[in-house]
Amino acid sequence: MELMQNESSPIQIALTPRFKKDLQKLAKRYRSIRSDIQPLIEQLLAGEIRGRCNYWS
């Protein structure tokens, strides 16, 4: 499992083997997928929550 962490944030993102495998398959069809998801990863590392989460309510 690969961990991504921003130096200024305590948040870590773990890329599971399944995610990496699926990403590799999708990258064959969608060449820019890695650069497309990079802003999402950066937002998550910055602590920005996307969408609505009822889990914490």
pLDDT for the residue 4: 64
Asked, for residue 26, whether it belongs to a domain, the answer is yes
- Tens of pLDDT along 45-55? 888 776 666 65
Domain limits at 40? 2-45
Report how many domains make up the chain: 1
pLDDT for the residue 22: 95
Asked, for residue 39, whether it belongs to a domain, the answer is yes
Which whole-number Å values give the CA distances from 5 to 25, 36, 46, in the listed order? 24, 18, 10
- Tens of pLDDT along 4-43? 666 666 778 888 999 999 999 999 999 999 999 999 888 8
Closest by CA position to 3, among listed 45, 36, 43: 45
Asked, for residue 33, whether it belongs to a domain, the answer is yes
Its pTM stands at 0.63
pLDDT for the residue 12: 82
Asked, for residue 30, whether it belongs to a domain, the answer is yes
Asked, for residue 14, whether it belongs to a domain, the answer is yes
Our CA angle for 2, 24, 31, nearest 5°, is 120
39 vs 1 pLDDT, higher one: 39
Asked, for residue 54, whether it belongs to a domain, the answer is no
Asked, for residue 51, whether it belongs to a domain, the answer is no
